[in-house]
Structure 1
C-alpha cells in the first residue's frame, strides 16, 4: 500500500504515514541506498524491521528526499542535508516521517496490553490522573509512551528520563491534542502535542 495518511500540523510541518503491506522485495524496488544503509538493512535479522527501514525511505521520497539526504549524529538523531528537522518512527506495520522548520519528534506504537506491566518504568506524575480500571487504560498508557518518546526524540539530550523529566498534562482523547513538558537540568520547556489512533495503533508528535 502506498502513502496511508498525510497530516499538516502547521504551515511549516508535515507528517506522512505509511502502511507497510508490501513485501521486502517490493519495497526494495526503485530505492537507491548508500552503502552503509544497504549493509544495515541486509544485516537485519527480522524482515519486519527490514520492511520498516525501507518504508521510511519510501516516505522520504514522498518528501522529495533520497537516502543520501538522511544522516545521523553521534546521539542517533536523524538529520536532513538541507537543514530541515526530521523525526522518524516505525512499529510493526506502520511507519512515519515528520519534517519541519523547527525541532519535532514523532512516535507510533501498537496498542498492546503488556504496556501496563512496564508502566511504572516510564510514568510517575501521570498516575495521578490515570484510571487503571477504565477500558481506555491501555490506550492511555500507549499515548503517554508515544508522547514521551516524541519528546525524547525532539530534545535529543543524553540523560533525559521518560519518568523523571517528561510530563504529559491530563488529556482528552476526543480533543486529539494537549501539552507536555520537559523539566530537566533546572529548565522547563513546554511543547504542543497531537495524537491520532488508527487500526490498533497510536501516533503522537511534539512540536517545539
Structure 2
C-alpha cells in the first residue's frame, strides 16, 4: 500500500506521506473527482503532476475526506469545508498533506545538486553558517528550501520573500528539527520546524 508514513506531531495534527507507485489510470479509477478537479487534472500536461494531484486525493481519503471537501481560495491556498487547516505538497514520486486545527504548512522536495544553482535566490542569512564543502550541503539547502516553502504556505501573505523575510537558524540534519522566523513588515513570528529525510527526499512542516 503506497501510504508511506503517518506522523502525529500533536493531538490536533496529522501528517501523511504517499509514495506514488500507481499509474495514472490506477489512481483515476480509485477516486471520485468533482467536475472542477477533473477538468484541472485532465488539463495537466505532465503525467507526473497528474499522479501527484490524484495521490493527494488518496491521502485525503486516508483522513476521511473526499475531493469535494477540498477547495482553494483566491490566493491558491487549500481549505477543508469542515474548517480544519490543510497544506499539500508533491514532488516526483512522493506527496504529502498535513491537516490540523492549527495553521500549518508542508513541503516535500527531492534532494538534487541543481539546488546549488538557485540557492542565491532563496538564501541570504543562512549563507553565514553554510559550508559548500560540508557533506550535508545539498541536504541542508533542500531542508532550508522546504522550511521556507512550508512557512510561505502557512503565512499565506502575498509579497512574502523566501530570501528577505524567512530565516532558518543553524541546524544539523541529524537533529530533524530547527527554528525559523518570519520577519515581515515589522512583525516577527517564531516557528518550530520538523523535517525528515527518506529515499533522497526531504519533507518539512511548520505548525503555528
**Structure 2 length normalisation: TM-score?**
0.99
Aligned to 1:37: 37
- Does structure 1 conserve the Cα–Cα contact (< 8 Å) formed by 2:139 and 2:173? no
Partner SS state of residue 52, structure 1: helix
How far apart are the structure 1 equivalents of 2:172 and 2:137? 13
Residue 122 of structure 1 and its aligned partner are, at CA, apart by 0.2
Q: In the alignment, does 2:53 pair up with 1:24?
A: no
Counterparts of 2:150 and 2:75, CA distance in 1: 15
Q: Which runs of 5+ in 1 are unaligned?
A: none
Give the CA deviation at 1:50.
0.5
Aligned partner of residue 29 in structure 1, secondary structure: helix
Within 1, Cα distance between the matches of 2:202 and 2:102?
23
Per the TM alignment, residue 30 of structure 1 is displaced from its structure 2 partner at its CA by: 2.7
CA drift at 1:64: 0.3
Distance, in Å, in 2 between the alignment partners of 1:185 and 1:13 is 29
Task: Report how far residue 173 of structure 1 moved.
Answer: 1.5
Per-residue deviation, residues 133-166 of structure 1 (Å, max 9, x unmatched)? 1111111000000000000000000000000000
Residues of 1 paired with 2:178 and 2:48: CA distance? Answer: 32
List runs of 5+ in structure 2 lacking aligned partners: none
1:60 aligns with 2:83: no
**Counterparts of 1:33 and 1:69 in 2: how far apart (Å)?**
11
Instruction: After TM superposition, give the deviation of residue 174 of structure 1 in Å.
Output: 1.5
Match of 2:121 in 1: 121
- RMSD value over aligned CA atoms? 0.6
TM-score by structure 1 length?
Answer: 0.99
1:83 aligns with 2:83: yes
Number of equivalent positions: 208
Alignment of structure 1 residues 48-197 onto 2, 5 Å: 48-197=48-197
Equivalent-residue separation in structure 2 for 1:143 and 1:133 (angstroms): 17
Query: Partners of 1:177 and 1:44 in 2: how far apart?
Result: 35
Give the distance between the partners of 1:114 and 1:130, measured in 2 at CA. 16
Distance 1:135 1:178 in 2: 19
